[in-house]
Amino acid sequence: MTIDVVIPARNEASTVGEVVAAARACRFAREVIVVDDGSTDGTADRALAAGAKVVRRETGSGSKAQAMEAGVAATDADAILFCDADCVGLTGAHLEDICRPYLEGRAAMSVGWFDYGMLNPLVRRLPPTSGERIVPRWVWDSVHPEKRTGYSIEIMINEVIAEGRLPTTVRVMAGVSHRTKRHKLGLKRGYRETWRMFWYLIGLPVRGVVRWRTCWFYLRELTVED
């Protein structure tokens, strides 16, 4: 069983080195692949210096989902551990905790949630939008190409798992957060973009892009780990 780490990154120079180091410290991971779409802040250099293999997309109009796709195409691993490049406080131990339920056959998908403190008991049961998750590569391949877009790629991975009635485990990555859109874009634009993303995601079942039953199937097969 081989596991490679795929890290989509656009302009994440301040955190990508720390994230690559965490991924390399995960004893279950073979290779760490960072996919960069025309970053202008030295993200690729930081990733290389931290020991990642860097895949550069030169389209200038990428998306996170397309970066993930390029990362999966660059590996023949049996399973992919996806990880965002803007995590803060992430360690190899967090990633090992995510991998374990998958490796032990308890989960087809294992996900790490950011640490929201008192909100954790509530958050852990929502359909996860986290970028930190392991899935077998067939799950990625089963996401319809038209659905590999925008903010919703994680929801579309959830859909493959839920509609297959497959078990998911989630756990909180203690002490881990990320640089939010407010940090990256400033308060005003950051809040606007966060709300835009939130409404888009809420709208998926409302507009029938994702069926309500999918959420139910997801919850039925969900195990929350401490």
The CA-CA-CA angle for residues 214, 216, 217, to 5°, reads 65
Q: Give the nearest distance from C-beta 211 to Mg ion in angstroms.
A: 27
Binding-residue pattern over the window 55 to 84 for ligand GDP, x denoting contact by CB under 6 A: -------xxx--x----------------x
User: CA–CA separation, 4 vs 189, rounded Å?
Assistant: 34
Cα atoms in the Cβ-side hemisphere of radius 13 Å centred on 60: 0
User: CA–CA separation, 211 vs 129, rounded Å?
Assistant: 16
> Does position 8 bind ligand GDP by CB under 6 A?
yes
Using the rule CB under 6 A, which residue among 181, 204, 215, 217 binds ligand GDP?
Answer: 181
Nearer to Mg ion, 86 or 97 (CB): 86
The burial of 141, by beta-carbon neighbours within 10 Å (0-12 exposed, 13-18 middle, 19 or more buried), is given as exposed
Cα atoms in the Cβ-side hemisphere of radius 13 Å centred on 52: 33
> Does position 128 bind ligand GDP by CB under 6 A?
no
> Does position 112 bind ligand GDP by CB under 6 A?
no
Restricting to residues 11-50, which ones interact with ligand GDP according to CB under 6 A?
A: 12, 35-37
Question: Nearest-CA neighbor of 32 among 12, 56, 54, 10?
Answer: 54
* 18 interacts with, out of Mg ion, ligand GDP, none, CB within 5 to 8 A per kind: none
Residues near Mg ion (CB under 5 A) = 86, 178
The number of residues making up the chain comes to: 226
Binding residues vs ligand GDP (CB under 6 A): 8-10, 12, 35-37, 62-64, 67, 84-86, 131, 178, 181
